[in-house]
Chains A and B, each alone.
Chain A
Amino acid sequence: MTPTPIDRLARRAGEAVRDRADHLDGHRPHVDGLRRRDRTRRALTAGAAVTVVVLVALVVLVQARPGSRPAIGDGTSPPPSEPRASEEPTEHGTPKPITDRVRIADGIFEGSDQPWVLHAWLTEPDVVCIQLRGTGCSTLATEDDPLGAVGTGMTRGLENQGCVYGGIDEQVATVEVDFLDGETVTLPSLDGQELPTDFYAYCWDGSRQPTSLRALDEQGRVLESADRP
């Protein structure tokens, strides 16, 4: 078969490439270089894997610290989503007076040494989360404790987790929160005082997205409103 012009050109082109590749072959990297490269690559891969493992472990440890995230009750309360960074209290900043955020009124919580009452009006809530940073928090309620009076699907709190959840199905709710001493924090007593740590409350609608929270005084005036998209 007679070679076509393209075929002839291709053969010449192939020959030229072979010539030059043979020239380059005289300078090819030694096989030891290949092995070194292999070892380096493996070391880098192993190093990257170790870094990832360490980072994951750090994240897990940080999240497992008491008070670093809302604790989930016994499973009957839906887990709330984490507050967004802009909404988070500053752990190392100056704590805001609690009266700037929510109304703490006189209240009676039987059996508690430190009775505090939070009046919160929740627009469309089915869950409220009250979270204390850096403090212990007593078990808030059981089905038969006073908190059970404010709504259905009552709360569960976990000791020393710094947060509690309450289910509420009324528009006006009085959530009585029993702040007991944590292991290292002594809470100030009574109304109008500053807490040693930040305090904030969130509520979630059924999809567990934060909606809004309004704190009212005893006359029903809005002290604080926090609407969220």
Chain B
Amino acid sequence: MPREDVNDMGTVVGVSDDTLDAVPFASFYGAEHRHVVRIVYALCGSWTTAEDVTQEAFLKALRRWPQLQQMDRPDAWVRRVACNLATSRFRRRSIEARALLRWRARQEVPEPQPLPSDLERFWQRVRQLPDRQAQAVALFYADDLTVGEVAQVMGCAEGTVKAHLHAARERLRGMYNRQEEES
């Protein structure tokens, strides 16, 4: 799985939080944040919500950090939590409501440029897929994971991931075909 630089390590070392886990968690957070945001955005279509769902996922990771550290792939765990949060409509709505409040109070963070319309439409259609298919597409295409890595995150066999991706592509093709016929 791709690992980027940890851009706030220097600051984090001096953090007053007195747990021994402070540095490893900060490092983990720094490295994984962007991956999780990508996946969640692909699944929910709003950067504000994506940021908040990501925070929520890392909050859960922070609380379980001693156990997560023992895991081979804590990154897969946090991605899975984020996927579940992003596709659970009930939980996402409450997060969205909080996100909106925070966003109003914190407008200095610039929103990224909007996606070109054809690509935005693509993700809109992905969000109409069944949850597991949408998750597979988001992990594979938006986070650029391999099929094996997607399988780890989703907790299923590689063959299942391939099946989800195949089914998702077929459905998407069907959607595009229908749109062409209608126009």
Contacts and interface: CB of A to CB of B under 8 A. Distances in A.
Interface stretch (B79-87, B89-97, B106-114): B106-114
Q: Which of A25, A31, A32, A37 gathers the greatest number of chain B CB atoms within 10 Å?
A: A31
B15 interface: yes
A24 B51 contact: yes
Contact of A28 (B33, B38, B123): B33
Given A13-B141, A18-B38, A31 B30 contact: yes
Interface in B134-183: 137, 140-144, 169, 172-173, 176
B119 A13 contact: yes
Interface in B100-141: 109-110, 112-113, 115-116, 118-119, 122-123, 137, 140-141
B71 interface: no
B74 to A, nearest CB: 15
Contacts of A11: 141
Interface stretch (A1-9, A86-94, A157-165, A216-224): A1-9
A17 B142 contact: yes
A110 to B, nearest CB: 69
A7 B37 contact: no
- Chain A interface extent, by class: 20 to 34
Interface residues of B, number: 45
B59 interface: yes
B62 A38 contact: yes
B37 A14 contact: no
A23 B113 CA distance: 9
Nearest to A22: B34
Contacts of B172: 6, 10
The prevalent SS among residues of B at the interface is helix
Interface in A85-142: none
Contact of B109 (A19, A27, A31): A27
Interface in A171-212: none
B68 to A, nearest CB: 14
Contacts of B12: 31
Contacts of A60: none
Given A13-B123, A21-B38, 8 more contacts: A14-B140, A20-B112, A21-B37, A24-B112, A25-B33, A30-B11, A31-B30, A34-B62
Interface of B: 7-8, 11-12, 15, 17, 25-26, 29-30, 33-35, 37-38, 41-42, 47, 50-51, 55, 58-59, 62-63, 109-110, 112-113, 115-116, 118-119, 122-123, 137, 140-144, 169, 172-173, 176
Interface of A: 4, 6-7, 9-14, 16-32, 34-35, 37-38, 41
16 contacts: A9-B119, A10-B169, A13-B119, A14-B143, A16-B119, A17-B142, A18-B38, A18-B144, A21-B50, A23-B112, A24-B47, A25-B33, A25-B37, A27-B110, A31-B15, A34-B59
